[in-house]
Amino acid sequence: QLTNTYLAVGPHNAFALGLEYQDPNFWRLSATYSYYTNTYLGISPILRTQNFLLDDDGLPFVEYDPEKAKMILIQERFADYGLLNLTANKSWKIEDMYLGWFLSINNILGTSYKTGGYEQSRSANYRSLLEDYEAPMRRFGPKYWYGRGTTFFMNLSLRF
């Protein structure tokens, strides 16, 4: 049974504040700032089994240090982040038709952020994980997914 771990399902908390203006001349502008917290790396369950502590002979590692093991098995929490998004639209009536224009700019500030990831299981025992962890550059470190930088979307529509 895994204890003291968190689900790696994206942010556990999200807060948003938005402002919107709608003009009588059929245009609209809105801005939203969203703040995300408590996003965690997906853990490798095999690293938290009895096998993690055992050498190839089935006996516990002689050099096993519970404090070091605890340190290298702490579930990584990603940095909190905020995103600023902007949308604008306008419509015009042309005879019996409507021409519409829509623009969306997401992550205006170009924030770099991790959206998820997972621990690898290639170093599945204490000795090999500790060696990997203490190396200048980890060979089998966690894999991460990152959010997009600034993105743009524009749409023109004609209703008749």
- Number of other residues whose CB lies within 10 A of the CB of residue 70: 9
pLDDT value at 1 more than 80: no
Q: What is the pLDDT of residues 114-147, one digit of tens each?
A: 999 999 999 899 999 999 999 999 999 999 999 9
Residue 4 pLDDT: 87
pLDDT value at 58 more than 80: yes
Q: Please, what is the average pLDDT of the chain?
A: 95
- Number of other residues whose CB lies within 10 A of the CB of residue 117: 19
Cα–Cα distance measured from residue 43 to residue 45, given in angstroms and rounded to the nearest whole number? 6
Q: Between the CA of residue 140 and those of 13, 36, 52, 65, 125, what are the distances in Å? A: 29, 28, 16, 21, 13
Strand segments (E) across the chain: 13-23, 27-37, 81-94, 97-106, 114-118, 143-146, 151-159
Question: Binning pLDDT at 50, 70 and 90, where does residue 2 land?
Answer: confident
Global pTM reads 0.86
What is the bridge-based pairing of β-strands 27-37 and 151-159? Answer: unpaired
Q: Where are the domains of the chain?
A: 13-159
